[in-house]
């Protein structure tokens, strides 16, 4: 987080697009983004990082966290870009153990026969 926040916006944007295109494959056309919004919560001495929380509208969007954690899939439906992180954990969001659980969840998505 600390390092990424020091990088110029065009570098972050280029790297993110490189990664997306690499994982989604040559057959998928991914257009250039029209803009980018990023946080600098780590550099802010009053926060030094952040985590998600449910606001008062959460009942209108009960599946928001599950949707955030859905992978991007290729034409065959195979997951190519996976999303972990505390924000995608349905029960222990905002916490380290939620972040950790979400990592196991995504590992199991691509390694269904592995025993963790
Ligand atoms: C002040 C504070 C106190 C906390 N105290 C507790 C506590 O006591 N107990 C507890 O359980 N939880 C606590 N938390 C919450 C916990 O730290 C987080 O929930 C957890 O770290 C989230 O992990 P994560 O992997 O989801 O996200 P992060 O740890 O935020 O990891 C995200 C990663 O993505 C990287 N990244 C971001 N953008 C890009 C990009 N464009 N390209 C490449 N990489 C990128 C960042 O560099 C970072 O390494 C606290 C958080 C804060 C801020």
34 and 83 within one domain: no
| Shared domain check, 113 and 70 | yes
71 and 87 belong to one structural domain: yes
d(CA 101, CA 91): 10
Residues 60 and 94 in one domain: yes
Residue 84's pLDDT band, with cuts at 50, 70 and 90, is very high
Number of domains comprising the chain: 2
pLDDT tens digits along 20-47: 999 998 888 999 999 999 989 999 999 9
pLDDT score of 115: 53
Same domain, 32 and 64: no
Atom 19, ligand 1: residue with shortest CA distance: 95
3-state secondary structure of 79: strand
Atom 33 of ligand 1, nearest CA residue: 1
The answer on 44 and 91 residing in a single domain is: no
Cα–Cα distance between 103 and 69 in angstroms, integer? 11
Q: Domain check: are 96 and 64 in the same one?
A: yes
| 43 and 57 both lie in a single domain | no
Mean pLDDT, residues 41-64: 93
CA 46 – CA 41 distance, rounded (Å): 9
Enumerate residues lining ligand 1, CB below 6 A: 1, 4, 12, 16, 48-51, 85-86, 94-96, 99
Nearest residue by C-alpha to atom 11 in ligand 1: 95
User: Any residues with CB less than 8 A from the CB of 102 and at least 6 apart, and which?
Assistant: 69, 84, 85, 86, 88, 89
Residues 116 and 75 in one domain: yes
Domain check: are 102 and 56 in the same one?
yes
Percent of the chain with pLDDT over 90: 77
Residues 74 and 114 in one domain: yes
Tell me the mean pLDDT in the region 86-106.
97
Distance CA 10, CA 14 (A): 6
Q: Which domain holds residue 4?
A: 1-50
Choose one of 15, 33, 50: the last residue of a domain: 50
């Amino acid at each position: 987080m600390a390092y990424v926040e020091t990088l110029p916006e065009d570098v972050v944007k280029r790297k993110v697009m490189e990664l997306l295109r690499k994982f989604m494959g040559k057959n998928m056309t991914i257009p250039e983004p029209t803009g980018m919004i990023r946080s600098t919560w780590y550099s802010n001495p009053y926060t030094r990082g952040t985590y998600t929380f449910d606001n008062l509208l959460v009942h209108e969007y009960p599946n928001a966290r599950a949707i955030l954690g859905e992978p991007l899939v290729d034409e065959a439906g195979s997951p190519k870009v996976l999303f972990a992180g505390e924000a995608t954990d349905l029960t222990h969001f905002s916490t380290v153990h939620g972040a950790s659980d979400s990592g196991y969840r995504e590992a199991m998505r691509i390694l269904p026969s592995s025993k963790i």
